[in-house]
Structure 1
């Protein structure tokens, strides 16, 4: 039998068993924490090389310090940063269910037996206990009354069901023709739990106009994991070019997410015109990006920015410098965007 086996239980989590016991391995290869049989350790890897550093008590017999060591803290911070970056890269991959045309249920009806018992309580009570024929006749009248009552209740329930179905059909019709009084409240409810606040400001025939308030650069990690020449884990300052690329992905991810959710909810829409705005230090809003995402656009694999470059139509953006950093648009040259941003009432 093999003396070692290993299997993945979740992304970034692997379990192995060997002669030393069962161990858990947490995090990406660039900064992986190992715990369990054989002691605690941290490994880093780049290319074909891996460096392992034990964090357990050494042969000198010294007790490990209470709390995580500096190496453990660095490894955990590296894992946290990797999780943040992975979340940004996959932000646009969320899926949304579209509403379906509803069918009104028949209102609940009381059991027929309860109607019979209620009628018998009225008719049989007046019959003599010793006149069986009289009591049998009373039960027959009670059942007949119960059947009449049941038919009346069924008719009322069906009429109520028809009224409810008519209301549902009308709501569906209004949603299909992009009626603003129907569509905009539905989008407001859908956007309510989004990480980046969004608002649908209006509908132009088959296109909804959406403004999404994206976070600033301050939400990005200022460091990123790397490996030194000696094979040790390092957290170095994030280069400006990398920061610019990650921020483009963050903005594009929220834009794509808002567009996809709008198109999922608005079953009659053909496109979503999305403007990404950012709150600046002075409290004002600046527009960073405007694009149009069509319902039948092919969404390829790739980073959010790569997807937006492929799927976006009539995209307006201002990329500055060698790093291609997202910068505010000059709204003096974009009167329609200026009007849209001015209309935005996001807090």
Structure 2
């Protein structure tokens, strides 16, 4: 049985000292709150009522409440899962871009039709001429105002006719120039074809340029492309854990080279497809691919890794939605592609018997 003593310190406030410590009572006898040593309680007519249980019980450690700790752990798990999903999506997006560039549709060039001019705004012209004609004429001078309005209307119609004739003349001149350009493009004028190809290649991911024009079984254009190294291929690939969850695994060197070859094929085919679309008179496109490797020595900083010829008839017959880019590169007429070792590394091709390709490489070296 505990013993102690109590004393009143203010109206309604009493402190009791016991062997358990100090305890304070606040309020009237019928609704008195007791705090301090022990659990907080309220004295009522029905007896004492406990208000709360301390958090620092033997079942719950001091510090963060159990619910808050669980929520933080769940948030961290979700954040990690979201980051992993984003990484996987980025890798998949990069892979698709490397593999499917050749599936892009390039609309065929067509003769440009210059739209007819818009008629002049006769109402606006009449209003302007009328305002100028009536300036300074009293509203009571009806005859003068009537004559001024008639003259203004005649002047507005005359100006409208003049503007219409000028617009029609400009449209006719623009159509004449467009027709001349189209005729030159169809006739494979070298300068016109070069201009069309350069404008088409301006927004390509990998730089390409027209470097030649000739006749051999028809008219062909020579195109030089600058391509990167296998470093463009993501080091990891999408995979599944033993439990079936998406994850990323490291690619082998062979897998990386295989995707690099697909990217090369897809880029070459897309460039050929675009060139034939914008230059309808060409019967073939000759392609030379130069690889730029800043990590290589001076002799291999730039090297030719592919060359091939793509006749229009052969290219138009390709199953673009299902073709294998690497296989198609190898089947192209006069194709040259060297793969070495068990990992199928793409290496520079031997140019000792290729003076034409050597000239393209020299041209690229001088430009870069």
Deviations 1:223-265 (A, max 9, x none): 3344566767775442333233212111111111111121222
What's the offset of the Cα at 1:215? 1.1
For residues 123-138 of structure 1, what are the structure 2 equivalents within 5 Å? 123-124=133-134, 129-138=139-148
Q: Which has the higher contact order (CA 8 A, sep 6+)?
A: 1
CA 1:115–1:231 in structure 2 vs 1: closer, same or farther (change >3 Å)? Answer: closer
Gaps in structure 2 of 5+ consecutive residues: 1-65
Pairing 1:179–2:186 present: no
Gaps in structure 1 of 5+ consecutive residues: 1-56
What's the offset of the Cα at 1:337? 0.8
What's the offset of the Cα at 1:147? 2.4
What's the offset of the Cα at 1:129? 4.7
Structure 2 match to 1:292: 309
Pairing 1:215–2:217 present: no
Partners of 2:297 and 2:323 in 1: how far apart? 35
What's the offset of the Cα at 1:77? 4.2
- Matched-pair contact (CA < 8 Å) for 1:277–1:286: yes
Structure 2 match to 1:204: 214
Pairing 1:116–2:126 present: yes
- Matched-pair contact (CA < 8 Å) for 2:330–2:337: no
CA 1:144–1:234 in structure 2 vs 1: closer, same or farther (change >3 Å)? Answer: closer
For residues 89-104 of structure 1, what are the structure 2 equivalents within 5 Å? 89-104=99-114
Q: Provide the secondary structure at the position in 1 that maps to 2:73.
A: coil
Partners of 1:94 and 1:76 in 2: how far apart? 25
Structure 2 match to 1:303: 324
For residues 1-347 of structure 1, what are the structure 2 equivalents within 5 Å? 61=70, 63-64=72-73, 67=76, 76-121=86-131, 123-124=133-134, 129-205=139-215, 206-227=219-240, 235-280=248-293, 281-283=296-298, 284-296=301-313, 297=315, 298-300=317-319, 301-310=322-331, 312-344=332-364, 347=368
Q: TM (normalized to structure 1)?
A: 0.71
Partners of 1:188 and 1:250 in 2: how far apart? 22
What's the offset of the Cα at 1:82? 3.4
CA 1:112–1:61 in structure 2 vs 1: closer, same or farther (change >3 Å)? Answer: closer
- Matched-pair contact (CA < 8 Å) for 2:253–2:343: yes
What's the offset of the Cα at 1:338? 0.6
- Matched-pair contact (CA < 8 Å) for 1:89–1:250: yes
What's the offset of the Cα at 1:330? 0.5
Please say which structure displays the higher CA radius of gyration.
Answer: 2
**Number of residue pairs matched?**
289
CA 1:134–1:221 in structure 2 vs 1: closer, same or farther (change >3 Å)? Answer: closer
Partners of 1:76 and 1:151 in 2: how far apart? 63
Partners of 2:270 and 2:155 in 1: how far apart? 60
What's the offset of the Cα at 1:218? 1.6
CA 1:129–1:244 in structure 2 vs 1: closer, same or farther (change >3 Å)? Answer: closer
Q: TM (normalized to structure 2)?
A: 0.67
